[in-house]
């Protein structure tokens, strides 16, 4: 019996569909139920053609039917048939959904590309930093112990020249001289001009 009623509902004419939508505008739930039986299938079909995704088409069809319920008071029979009015709403919703999906995909691509570029840059910086550290360590090994000590205390332990002089029990002038010679050697070793 329910199938027969649904089948009959789908085959009503344009004038009856127009009357149903006018009744929906007046708040009739029964009219909306009958209108739903008539319009949901064609609306879903059109959404499927536009979206080419059954799940998303179902969502759009539901959104359209909700909008029909809420917007029914704006429908004017003199401007066209109810089915045309509803299918226009459905088409706009489906196209908007496609555009939203495209924008979302584009944003994801952009973010993914930016993350990939940042990850690459981080890796490059890390590799360069490791390479530079290894090169500095190698150059430090070439220094004599008396030249290496003040450099390590200054640059790795953060001591001032005065603190280095006190730690090594050397005159301040000797520490300055050793640092100057050590830095000149390191500059040369690391490839910087003297």
* Burial of 36 (C-beta count, 10 Å sphere; 0-12/13-18/19+): middle
Instruction: Give 92-118 pLDDT, tens digit per residue.
Output: 999 999 998 888 888 888 877 766 555
At a CB cut-off of 8 Å and minimum separation 6, what does 142 contact? 185, 189
Closest CA to 14 of 72, 65, 79, 82: 82
Instruction: Give 24-40 pLDDT, tens digit per residue.
Output: 999 999 999 999 999 99
pLDDT tier for residue 8 given thresholds of 50, 70 and 90: very low
How far is it, in rounded angstroms, from Cα 170 to Cα 178? Answer: 11
DSSP 20-89: HHHHHHTT-HHHHHHHHHHHHHHHHHHHHHHH--HHHHHHHHHHHHHHHHHHGGG--GGGS-HHHHHHHH
Would you state the pLDDT for residue 63? 95
pLDDT tier for residue 186 given thresholds of 50, 70 and 90: confident
Instruction: Give 153-167 pLDDT, tens digit per residue.
Output: 888 888 899 998 998
What end-to-end distance do the CA atoms of the chain give, in Å?
Answer: 99
How far is it, in rounded angstroms, from Cα 34 to Cα 126? Answer: 67
């Amino acid at each position: 019996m329910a199938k027969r009623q649904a089948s009959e509902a789908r085959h009503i004419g344009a004038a009856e569909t127009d009357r149903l939508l006018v009744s929906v505008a007046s708040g009739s739930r029964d009219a909306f139920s009958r209108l739903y039986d008539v319009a949901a299938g064609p609306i879903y079909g059109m959404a499927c053609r536009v979206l080419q995704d059954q799940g998303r088409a179902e969502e759009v069809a539901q959104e359209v039917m909700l909008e029909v319920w809420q917007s029914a008071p704006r429908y004017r029979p003199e401007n066209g048939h109810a089915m045309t009015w509803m299918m226009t709403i459905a088409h706009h919703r489906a196209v908007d959904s496609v555009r939203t999906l495209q924008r979302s995909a584009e944003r994801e691509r952009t973010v993914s590309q930016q993350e990939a570029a940042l990850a690459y840059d981080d890796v490059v910086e890390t590799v360069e930093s490791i390479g530079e550290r290894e090169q500095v360590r190698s150059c430090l090994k070439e220094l004599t112990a008396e030249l290496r000590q003040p450099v390590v205390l200054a640059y790795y332990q953060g001591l001032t020249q005065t603190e280095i002089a006190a730690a090594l029990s050397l005159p301040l002038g000797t520490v300055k001289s050793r640092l100057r010679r050590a830095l000149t050697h390191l500059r040369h070793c690391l490839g910087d001009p003297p």
